Each structure stands twice: as structure tokens, then as C-alpha cells.
Amino acid sequence: MLKKAIESVFIIVSTIVGFGVFLLPYALQISGGYFWIWFIVVALAVYELHLAYGELLFDAKEKHNLPGLISQRLGKHWKLPVWIFDYVGILLVLLLFLVALSQFVPLVLPVSALTVKAFFALLFVLVGLLSVNPFANIKTVFSIAMIFLFAILSGLLFPYVRPENLVWQNSQYFFSYGLLVFAFIGYSSLQMVYDLIGPNAALFRRVNKAALMIVSALYLFFTASVVGVLGNTTAENSLVQLVTIFGPAIGSLSIALAMVSMSSVAFSLVFYIKRGLMVDFKIKEFPAWCAIAVPLILFVFIPLQGVVQLADLIGGLFLSVNILLLLVAYDHIKHKKYFHIHPILLRALILLFAIGWVVSLAL
């Protein structure tokens, strides 16, 4: 059981840690001290959110993705709207990954941005053709590789950190919200965790706590290291800045980290969409694959550049809607057998994500 618990921790870590981590230094530079407040609030909120998802998951009689789980509590008419938000949000994440990789990889390899987008889009499409995720059994390796690369990169940057760069500076108080939600959410991995450990509530709680602590530590040290070096000059593409300043050594390491982390998350999301269409809507495997493949191919030709705005849109708008519906569905469970969230805390979480959604929509 210990082996399964460790594997479960790394499944969650490898699902959460993607492109979002590379946007956090810019969020800190813009938000100043408010970033740390949101960092703590979002990390704790996501832990409770994962427990709420776990309650729905443990109480379900058969496998479902988020749309199926929510519709069991709120009614069948909710399944399609939730799926649309889930589907569009995940497709936007995949688009974001393609754009980000097309910006990063040409920094260290003599290839065009279009070639990079086409390569990774084709990779994601081909992986989606398989019946099972071929990387599911090596997520532990992916996670350890990411942790190792983050540790090396942060260690290389540490001697150049200036403490004065980390003091409270700018004060755009809500800027970090959407980016942190985008960076921390990992509920798509919880079905795989359940498949490993079964309906063991205590272990599920410990696994999520350990995974989120690892993610928080990675984010904390990486963000502080980058901003400690770049200070007020930290831009959206801080990874590009690091390559420019420190040369190909750190550049190659950074790009390797980006490719490993984003590919790991992308593979999970591709199979999440495919599995959801098959189990929630009883769609056959090939049409479910087409629902992923066609948009990914089209994404190759979209000339998008604003990655921060897109990540904020995904976190603040699409993910917040799903989170709200998930919490409301959890609230509809009269007798919670596995994970009890205090009613006051639950109302506070619903209010938090509702306000976040409204503000993101307004901005």
C-alpha cells in the first residue's frame, strides 16, 4: 500500500505541475505581497476542493469524470453544460501548452515555432489514439524528473538572488488569483488515485496533502528564485529571460523542464477528455479521440501570443465555474461518509470562487 500511496502522490504532482509554474514569477512581480496571500488561500482551497471531489468519487457507483459526478447530484441536465466548460477549458490548456512550447524550444534548438507546435500537437494526437495512457505507469519517474530539474534550476539561480527583489512592491491585488487557480488545480488525476488506493479516505487525504505540499514547495522555491534574480524586470516569459541572461546551460535545463512538465500534464488531459466522453456520454473510442485530435490540429495554425491572459482566463473563468459546481454538488450530499468540510468553510469556498469568477469575467 505504501508503494501505491507514493505512486498516487506523484500522479497528482505530475498532473498539477505544468506551464502554470512558469507564469508565477510574473504574477509575483505584478502582485507583490498579495501573491503570497493568494498562494496560501488557493493552495488550502484546492486541498479542500480535492476532498470534495473525493467525496463525490467515493460515493459514485461507477466511474465518471467531473460532468458525470456533478450530474449525479444536481441532475442529468447539468451534465452537458459542465462537460462543455470542462472540454473547452482543457482544450485551451492544450492550446496554451502548444503556444508556450513554440516560444521556448526555439531558444535552444534551431527549429521554427510552427514546427514545434506541429510536433507536439501530433505527439498529443498520437498518444490519444492509444487505449491507455502509456505514461501512466511512469508518472512517478516524470514527477521525480521534474522535482530534480526544479531543484537544479533553483540551485543554479540561488547565488544570484537579491533579497531586496522579494520585498512587497506592486499591489494589483487580484492579478494572481486566476493564474494560481490554473497552476494548482489537479482534480483530473483523482480518479487514477482512487483506482490505485481504493475507498481509503484516510490515505486519500494524506496523499493529497503530501502532493500539494510538494507542489507548493516547488512553486515557492522556483518563483522566489526567479524573481529574486530578475526583480522588477520579470516578464511574462521569465523562462526566455533566464535563457538570455544565463546562456544555453540553464536554457537547455529550463526547456527540458518545460517539455517534461507540460507533456506529462497534456497526456493526462488528453485521456481525461477521451475517458469522459466514453464513460459519461457512452461515445465510442474513435469519435472521442476525434474530439481531441481535430482541435489540436487546428491549434497549430492559431497565431496566439498572450499566454498570461489565456492562463488567467482558464483559471479565473472556466476552472472557477467547474469548481463552483463541484462544491455545490458536494453540498447536495446529505450524508457525507468520507470527507466532511465544515459548512462555514464550504460557504466561504463557494463565495471565494464565485467572486473570483465574477471579477475574472469583469476584467
pLDDT of res. 208: 96
Nearest to 170 by CA among 34, 317, 352, 23: 34
Question: Using CA atoms, how far apart are residues 110 and 157, in angstroms rounded to an integer?
Answer: 26
Distance CA 132, CA 267 (A): 10
Measured on CA atoms in the order 32, 36, 38, 42, is the torsion positive or negative? positive
Confidence (pLDDT) at 135: 64
| pLDDT score, position 168 | 63
Identify the pLDDT of residue 134.
66
Of 212, 229, 199, 175, residue with least CA distance to 23: 175
CATH number at residue 294: 1.20.1740.10
- Compute the distance between CA of residue 144 and CA of residue 16 in angstroms, rounded to an integer: 14
**Contacts of residue 196, Cβ cutoff 8 Å, sequence gap at least 6:** 4, 7, 8, 11
Distance of CA 136 to the CA centre of its chain: 17
User: What domain range includes position 20?
Assistant: 2-362
Tens digit of pLDDT per residue, the chain (363 long)?
788 898 899 889 988 887 788 889 999 988 888 899 999 999 999 999 999 999 999 988 777 888 888 988 898 899 999 999 889 999 999 999 999 899 888 888 889 999 999 999 999 999 888 876 666 666 677 778 778 878 888 888 888 888 888 776 667 788 889 899 999 998 888 988 998 898 899 999 999 999 999 999 999 999 999 988 888 878 777 777 777 777 777 777 777 877 887 888 888 889 889 988 998 888 999 999 999 999 999 999 988 777 788 888 888 888 888 899 999 999 999 889 999 999 999 999 999 999 988 887 776
Q: Report the pLDDT value the prediction gives residue 15, as an integer from 0 to 100.
A: 86
Whole-number pLDDT of residue 144: 80
Long-range Cβ contact pairs of 159-167 (< 8 A, separation 24 or more): 160/228, 160/229, 161/224, 161/225, 161/228, 161/229, 162/228, 162/229, 162/231, 163/228, 164/231, 165/227, 165/228, 165/229, 165/230, 165/231, 165/232, 166/224, 166/227, 166/228
Neighbours of 233 (CB within 10 A): 12
How far apart, in Å, are the Cα atoms of 35 and each of 175, 200, 315?
8, 35, 15
- Let me know: does 230 contact 244? Beta carbons within 8 Å: no
pLDDT of residue 133: 67
Q: How many domains are contained in the chain?
A: 1
